[in-house]
Structure 1
Amino acid sequence: MRGLIGKRVLVSGGSSGIGLAAARRFLDEGCRVFVSGLDPAEVQAAVTALHPFGDITGQAFDVSHEPDVSALVTAAVDALGGIDVLANNAGIAWREPFLEITPEHFDRMLAVNLRGMFLVAQAVGRHMVDRGGGVIVNMSSTNGIAGEEDYAHYNASKGGVLLLGKTMAVELGRHGIRVNTLCPGYIRTPLNASIAGAMSDGDFESDYIANRIPLGRAGLAEEVAAAYAFLASDDAAFVHGAELVVDGGQLAVM
């Protein structure tokens, strides 16, 4: 990808799954990377695992808490000398029928997936305005575009991320900040594996793939990481305010 060598990248939720794969891809592209996550041990394990591939540091933060977000951005700027790219990736998910969702569960989902996305993007956006530009890539989902049963709170959070990103693009473009949104479909990650493993109604993943994904397989975290790298690169210099879907054709069925 053009223009990524030497870029300073913050990957929120970068200690596992898609975020971890994104951190590795940015290192492979010659970037310097700072990763965050909720679990200190998991963040340290990620930094240790990725250290042979490049300049990486990290620290544990809760993106749903404003003081943590302020500390996160300060730590990333101190470690990297600035932030050129934000891979705004942190998120949670679980399956729960609409009529059984408690207000507490709904609030927690939106606190991380939408409020956290906003808090991190705003804090980094202010830094990027001061330094004269940058790139922000927010993480949504195909669930933000088409509803899926038993995920009302998750769908709502990811739908909010889409319009958050569009509005950011309208307001931040004049400051030289490009903003786009990634919308993965069913990707094989530890989070999705935990959801599938909790199912009691047969082989969830096999049935899901057979019925909903025309390419006939789950996506890989590395494939979403490649999309992160593209949107952050100069190859996407005129891509702004867009959603990039990475789903093996899933939305064509939904």
Structure 2
Amino acid sequence: MRGLDGKGVLIVGGTSGIGLATARRFLEEASRVFVAGNDEAELKETRATLGELGTIDGLVGDVSVEGDVEAIVRGATAFLSRIDVLINNAGVAHKAPFLETRTEAWDRTIAVNLRGMFLAARAVGRLMAADGAGGAIVNMASTNALGGEELYAAYNASKGGVLQLTRTMALELGSAGIRVNCLCPGFIDTPLNRGLEDEAWIQAYEREHIPLGRRGHADEVAAAYAFLASEEASFIHGAALVIDGGQTAVM
């Protein structure tokens, strides 16, 4: 896609699932990539698997910890020289009835999905604004930001927060040449989602709720990340791009 060749891309949550597919996609677009993950073995495997495609490195850290995020941003800046694109992809999900949701599970979900996104976007946004060269930030929301889903109170709340955070960032950062958007995927085939639901449930859900009749794939979300970061999306700002096979079109 136009405008990604040579760009410095930081992917927070970039060592598995959608994040890993996104790292691969940006390398295929000839971008330089720095990934952050929470597992040293996954990071090592990511480097080994994707290293032949281009320039990639990374760090392990907890995105909900401000010091870890600052270290990740410093490491990315040192490796890339400049962060042109931030892909804010880290996330967790907790499944439980609302009345049985543990406080610690609520806190962890909000900490990773919303606080972590805020910390990374603020740190990178400050750098982008300071040098005046602008950039692109793409946050990971969800179709759960657009409508509720039972058993996922913490996740729904966190993703609703991401949607509003994205809109606020867009209002404030546009004048600095920083485009801010978010993705709202539906059911995507990832290790996280496979760990929450069994295959029989997933297949029934595909038939009953997704007009295209199938789950999405990580590389389809990665393509959307690349599009919103590219010059092809130069007038797209403050948007929530839905990637759900038609799921939210169903009444």
TM-score between the two structures when normalised by the length of structure 1: 0.97
> Could you tell me how far 1:196 is from its partner in structure 2?
1.6
Cα distance in 2 for partners of 1:149, 1:131 equals 44
Cα deviation code 1:15-43 (max 9, x no counterpart): 00000001000000010000011111111
1:129-186 per-position Cα deviation (integer Å, ceiling 9, x unaligned): 1122110000000011110110010000000000000000000001110000100000
Deviation at 1:253, TM superposition (A): 2.1
**Which residue of the partner structure matches residue 114 of structure 1?**
114
1:183 matched residue in structure 2: 184
Shift of 1:94: 2.7
Say whether 1:53 aligns with 2:53: yes
Quote how far apart the aligned CAs of 1:241 are. 0.3
Gaps of 5+ in 1: none
Kept after mapping to 1: 8 A contact 2:94/2:105: no
Q: Distance in 1 between matches of 2:209 and 2:6?
A: 39
State TM-score, norm by structure 2: 0.98
Distance 2:79 2:129 in 1: 19
Q: Is the 8 A contact 2:114 2:162 kept in 1?
A: yes
- Provide, for residues 215-240 of structure 1, a one-character-per-residue CA deviation record: whole Å limited to 9, x for no partner: 00000000000000000000000000
Q: Distance in 2 between matches of 1:31 and 1:125?
A: 19
Question: What is the total number of aligned residue pairs between the two structures?
Answer: 250
Post-superposition, which runs of at least 4 consecutive aligned residues in structure 1 deviate over 4 A?
A: none
Residue 212 of structure 1 pairs with residue 209 of structure 2: yes
1:230 paired with 2:236, answer no
Query: Where does 1:80-95 land on structure 2 (aligned, <5 Å)?
Result: 80-95=80-95
Matched residue SS, 1:123:
helix
**2:174 maps to amino acid:** G
Alpha-carbon contact 1:15-1:37 (below 8 Å) kept = yes
Equivalences for 1:70-219 in 2 at 5 Å? 70-132=70-132, 133-197=134-198, 203-219=200-216
1:249 aligns with 2:246: yes
- The CA distance in 2 between the partners of 1:45 and 1:104, in whole Å, is 30
- 2: CA distance between counterparts of 1:129 and 1:44? 32
Partners of 2:37 and 2:211 in 1: CA distance: 33
Kindly, what percent of the aligned residue pairs are identical? 61
Using the alignment, how far apart are the partners of 1:157 and 1:229 within structure 2?
Answer: 23
Q: Deviations for 1:109-134, whole angstroms, at most 9, x for unmatched residues?
A: 00000000000000010011112211
Whole-Å separation in 2 of the counterparts to 1:236 and 1:43: 30
- Contact kept, 8 Å, 2:149 with 2:156, in 1: the verdict is yes
User: How large is the RMSD of aligned CA atoms in angstroms?
Assistant: 0.9
Distance 2:42 2:3 in 1: 30
Give the distance between the partners of 1:195 and 1:120, measured in 2 at CA: 27
Question: Which runs of no fewer than 5 residues in structure 2 stay unpaired?
Answer: none
Partner Cα separation in structure 1 for residue 77 and residue 154 of structure 2:
33
